Chains A and B, each alone.
Chain A
Amino acid sequence: MNNSITKNQLFFLVIKTQIGIGLLSLPSDIQESAGGDAWISVLGSGVVIQLLILAYWHLCSRYPEKNLSQMTVLFFGKYIGRAVNCIYYGFFVLIAGYACTLYVKLIKVWLLPLTPSWVLILLIIVIGIYLAVEDLRVIARFYQLASVLLFVLFAMSLATFVNDVHLSNVLPVGQAGISQIFKGSGKTFFAMLGFEVILFFIAQVKASPREVMKTLTLANCFVTLFYSYFVFICLIGFSQEALSKVKEPVLFLLRGLSFQLFDRLDLIFLSIWIIPMSTTIVSYLCLAGKTLTTTRKTYQRMVRISGVLILMLAIYMSTRESLDTFSKWMEYGYLIMIAAVPLLMWTMSFLLLSYHKRRLT
């Protein structure tokens, strides 16, 4: 069966996974450390991600048509490789559960304060499964379609320039100092997670490695610019004190706008934003399925099982008051999984390539 995707589709798979819930609260998170230079932090983390992507790409192009879970088995042997995959699986489920929790919290605060969390989580997961059980091609098709909404959201954000704009908030450029900007980059990095899907999806792309790299670079540029644009409009829209007090500055920025036909642009923005947020969860469901299985049938079953796990996890997490300690712990653990482990494999590949080549042929 033909289940390859085009390089175009890869682009959308990457950006739709990356752009999600993180963006809405990002500006206030990073301005704590980077102040008026928060937008530079975003660009900085874009550069770091680009370097990681380069390593990913190099690794994947050495082992064409192998995704990460197949590579781990190749590198670490049957048993350790499987164990590593199980850890990956655990993290994908955790990340999806965590994203789901944040997502539902946001919906509860802004749209449906009285609806119980578990109902919302159930809805999100069921839709996630409905899409994730399909071929990657179908998922990519939906992502392409949903990407049109990013332009709608961008157009909406243009309306914020009707508000008072204080360019002086970001001036002078570089006021926060390099170390602070880097600190901000670190925080941004976690909001931009999602590029690790590359490790799994590259195997199915039907294009030359050069084209793939071009696509990935473009996707990264797009996401970085999209993020830094939103951070920038928040910085010039709010003073630093205001920004540190609000949790979702992007939505608050739109809240102040009023038109003749409708008020509260933020609610409309959020209603559309639901779709990018859901696609992130779909991607992780898909990854969770792909880490442990290879055939289509077992994949579908795995996605369903993962869905149930995520559901339980998210329901549990949404009952807890604070997730800060959990998220810190999880973020660092995840950093090891998506940066350290692939980089280790990449360095190993220099030594082992000739050995693998012999074994594969």
Chain B
Amino acid sequence: MTLNSAAINDYLSYTEDLITQNLTFHNERCTILYLESLTKMELIQFNIIQPFLEEGFAAIEAVSGARQSSDLPLIGQALLDGYCVVLPDSRAKAYMISAALLHSRSIEEPSAEQIIKGSHEGFVESLSTNIYLLRYRVKSPQLKVKYFSMGSLTNTKVAMVYMENLADPNIVKECEKRLRSINLTHLISTGEIDEMIEEHPLSPFPQSLHTERTDRAVSYLLEGKINIVVDGNPTVLVIPIKFFTFYQSPDDYNSRWITGSFFRFVRMISFVLAISLPAIYIAIVSFHSEVLPPGILYSVKVSLTYVPFPPIVEAIAMQIILELLKEASIRLPSPIAQTIGIVGGLVIGTAVVEAHLVSHTMIVVIGLTAIASFAAPLNEFGTSLRILGFPTMLAAALFGFFGISVMMMVVFIHLCKIETLGVPYFAPFGPFKGKESMKDIFLRLPVWKTEKNAQKSGSHKQSFTQRWKRH
């Protein structure tokens, strides 16, 4: 097939936003083609048309980023990427010059991952802006970007970003292998990539971290992890990830270490509470009420007197009501969401107790559980916890304390079992590394205690103390 404007028109299904224009400079003639919906007119006018009319092809060749090709699919792809194609009549090759029109949302704080102190910058939908945001924070020659094109229909651009000197080459290789193996017709969101590369699809725990925060993504880059950025998505995927990373927040590092450690500790408690609190309550009232001393037992039993349902039904019903409330209010504009919060929380909450459908203590227990599950810094992790709460409740209703112990064993065995890209998920607890677990998992020790030795190549170990104290 000869390379001419008709062939290109045919390749692009005679779409009407493909603009063709003939230009002449002395005896040099050419045709320029571009998709008007994807290109910026001024750029074409000032970078291509004007120079050509003044100096001819020499000017086109000199435009920065100009590429040459005679391959039709490649040219078609370039047009779809927002390039302007210059087809000289006399030569066999076409020039491709970038003139893409970028519509991008402004950089704002992601609403799902707000923090009190620290950077309020979040990723946007444009891939190039997102990579700019990463590069802006890590000005290192070691930062490496690898592009993939995925989806036979959508041709979505996907970037894999990592630090060449910090990332484990085996993990990088494995990750690349998995990305290359993806064979989808269309790729719209980061979640799809996540599902295609994760190892344990049956696990309730997320095995990759989705974040919209640039500081968070960068901090994982510097730990040697891989960021995967998908064009059109403000969410960056971080792999491989460990369980405890879901309990760290950039806030911890922006506040003083005692405060940070305290909040870490609170979040750890929230993990146990979110899974087991309703189950413990159910086990106590239906099997082992002798665990409570008479004073507390009396008030619990009084509130249960008129309730016609077994505690497991109460608990599951309340949990479902809570999920309903959350689902209903999450997508509504905030004034309506507030109304739902009031109607749901206050009206249903008190009315349900006064109608003797649910006991007071159950409301307290479910409320506490919900708050505990929301305490996880990443929302999706809290959801996994609430989902895990259901089988635990069921186990407690069937076998009491024994059921809870068994269920907890299953959860922790599972956590010990799973690995992501060869990295144990529950590290540094299983496998246990005492020092590491104290430094940055349970506590958040001061930076000069935990500063990771980023320069692995350095033969001597640097001491990271507060150096100014020595002088």
Q: Which residues of A contact B (CB under 8 A)?
A: 6, 8-9, 12, 107, 111-112, 115, 120, 123-124, 127, 130-131, 134, 137-138, 140-142, 144-146, 258-264, 267-268, 270-272, 274-275, 278
Contacts and interface: CB of A to CB of B under 8 A. Distances in A.
Given A6-B431, A258-B293, A272-B405, 19 more contacts: A8-B432, A111-B287, A112-B399, A123-B399, A138-B416, A145-B416, A146-B412, A261-B296, A262-B292, A262-B293, A263-B292, A264-B288, A268-B291, A268-B401, A271-B402, A274-B406, A275-B405, A275-B409, A278-B409
A140 B410 CA distance: 15
Interface in B426-452: 426, 429-432
A14 to B, nearest CB: 15
Contacts of B416: 138, 141-142, 145
Contacts of A145: 412, 416, 426, 429-430, 432
Contacts of B406: 123-124, 127, 274
A28 B293 CA distance: 29
Q: What are the 6 A-B residue pairs with the smallest beta carbon separation, nearest first? A: A141-B430, A271-B401, A144-B432, A274-B405, A141-B416, A142-B416
A264 B424 CA distance: 38
> Is chain A's interface secondary structure helix, strand, loop, or mixed overall?
helix
Interface string B386-418: 000000000000011110111001101100110
B409 A263 contact: no
A312 to B, nearest CB: 20
Nearest to A5: B431
Given A127-B413, A278-B409, A137 B431 contact: yes
16 contacts: A112-B400, A120-B402, A124-B406, A127-B406, A127-B409, A130-B413, A138-B417, A140-B431, A141-B430, A145-B416, A145-B426, A262-B292, A267-B288, A270-B401, A271-B404, A271-B405
Nearest to A107: B402
A144 B430 contact: yes
Interface residues of B, number: 26
A274 B402 contact: yes
A267 B288 CA distance: 8
Most buried by A among B296, B399, B404, B426: B399
Contacts of A264: 288, 290-291
Interface of B: 287-288, 290-293, 296, 399-402, 404-406, 409-410, 412-413, 416-417, 424, 426, 429-432
Given A127-B406, A145-B416, A267 B290 contact: yes
Contacts of B291: 262-264, 267-268
A6 B288 CA distance: 41
A145 B426 CA distance: 10
A9 B431 contact: yes
Contacts of B426: 141, 145
Contacts of B292: 262-263
A9 B399 CA distance: 32
Contacts of B430: 141-142, 144-145
A261 B293 contact: yes
A123 to B, nearest CB: 6
A270 B399 CA distance: 14
A145 B417 CA distance: 12
Contacts of A262: 291-293
Contacts of A127: 406, 409-410, 413
A310 to B, nearest CB: 17
A111 B402 contact: yes
B199 to A, nearest CB: 14
A137 B429 CA distance: 13
A142 B410 CA distance: 10
A168 B89 CA distance: 111
A139 to B, nearest CB: 8
